[in-house]
Amino acid sequence: MNQFQLFHRTGSRAHARHFLKLNGNVAIFLHATKVSLEAEMELLKKHQLKPLQLVQLQPYVRGSALVVGVYNRKAV
13 within some domain: yes
**In 3D, which of 75, 73, 76, 61 has the Cα closest to residue 26?**
73
Question: Looking at the whole model, is its pTM more than 0.85?
Answer: no
14 within some domain: yes
57 within some domain: yes
CATH number of the CATH domain containing 64: 3.40.50.150
8 within some domain: yes
Chain centroid to Cα 27, Å, comes to 7
* Residues 28 and 42: beta-carbon distance below 8 Å: no
pLDDT of residue 7: 57
76 within some domain: no
4: buried, middle or exposed (CB in 10 Å: 19+, 13-18, 0-12)?
buried
- Per-residue pLDDT reduced to its tens digit, 27-67: 888 887 777 888 888 888 887 888 999 888 888 888 888 88
58 within some domain: yes
Number of domains in the chain: 1
Domain that holds residue 25: 3-71
32: buried, middle or exposed (CB in 10 Å: 19+, 13-18, 0-12)?
middle
Confidence of residue 76 (pLDDT cuts 50, 70, 90): low
